[in-house]
Copies of this chain bind each other. A is one copy, B any other.
Amino acid sequence: MEIKKLGEFGLIERLTSLLKIEDKDVVVGFGDDCACVNIEGKLILFSSDIQIEEVHFIKEKISPEDLGWKLISVNVSDIVACGGKARWGLISIAVPENIELEYIQRVYTGIKDALDFYKFSIIGGNTSRSDKIVLDFFITGETKRFISRSGAKEGDYIYVSGHTGLSRAGLELLLMDKERYEEWEKKIIFFHTRPVARIDFVDTVQNANSCIDISDGLVGDLGHVEKQSKVKIVLEKEKLPVHPLLEKFCKTYNKNPYEYILYGGEDYQLAFTTPEKQDKGFLIGYVERGKGIFLKDKNKISKLQERGFEHI
């Protein structure tokens, strides 16, 4: 069987089932935004995320600075989703032999900006050669309490840390290959090329029952929460935040904004569920007993398809 039939999630499931963890210091293994180990009473988080040319990015469509920034941000986002703070990173970089040193130095400028912003250090890694640019980042973090995808409880409120859908709209704009972009379009593209991990939500997430970062789309990622927490999730359409720029994009290009808000990937916002109401973020729904993800539009409730954004 060729693996494209399995998809990314199917492949991960198959492979992880081959490996079993027998280690009392491992608090969380596969299946969450981070793995977590206990080192002398400290909860240390591990995660990794890769950027491969022509799979995750197109060299001509993203500046090297943005690429470096994004590499770090998507990794920090996984740490934040578990309630943690980034501590140390390792970078694996593989590049074609004929690449310009200046290009890589500019990638590192973006990386350095991100490290300064998120306040942590890269302390090691390796470099090698390859046909396509490969940037793989390993991140470690530290958390007081591990916030999992599997902790959502009946009666929880569901929050999202910010607007979703803009990153996908930005990607579509980039792929339009327009000769000239309007200022508002450039702003949307910025959401795709320069995502910001929500480190300002760490304290809020620490009070949550569950949290996940939105890399595969709001519904796709809440699907992980729904399955792993064994709950029913209800989103309220009128509460879903619609960004004015997304509204403009959808009017201009005749698109449905909810397609973007619900299914757009790579937003790197956080979706979390809490037993009490919160001051921060947008309240977008609630958790009930049962299963599945539903959209409530006034009095009509319909089941949402859980198609996420698969990288493979």
Contact partner of A55 (CB less than 8 A), chosen from B40, B99, B128, is: B128
Q: Is A11 a contact of B127 with CB atoms below 8 Å?
A: yes
Copies of this polypeptide in the complex:
2
**With A18-B112, A40-B40, A121-B26: A99-B3 Cβ-Cβ less than 8 Å:** yes
- Nearest chain B CB to A7 CB, angstrom units: 10
**With A97-B4, A101-B14: A124-B52 Cβ-Cβ less than 8 Å:** no
Q: Which residues does chain B contribute within 8 Å of A128, judged by CB atoms?
A: 8, 50, 52, 55-56, 311-312
Q: Is A94 a contact of B19 with CB atoms below 8 Å?
A: no
Q: Is A94 a contact of B30 with CB atoms below 8 Å?
A: no
Q: Is B101 a contact of A6 with CB atoms below 8 Å?
A: yes
Does A15 touch B at the CB level, under 8 Å?
yes
Q: Is B30 a contact of A124 with CB atoms below 8 Å?
A: yes
Q: Is B88 a contact of A19 with CB atoms below 8 Å?
A: no
* A88–B18 CA distance with the chains assembled, in angstroms: 16
Contact partner of A98 (CB less than 8 A), chosen from B2, B48, B124, is: B2
Contact partner of A15 (CB less than 8 A), chosen from B1, B35, B39, B127, is: B127
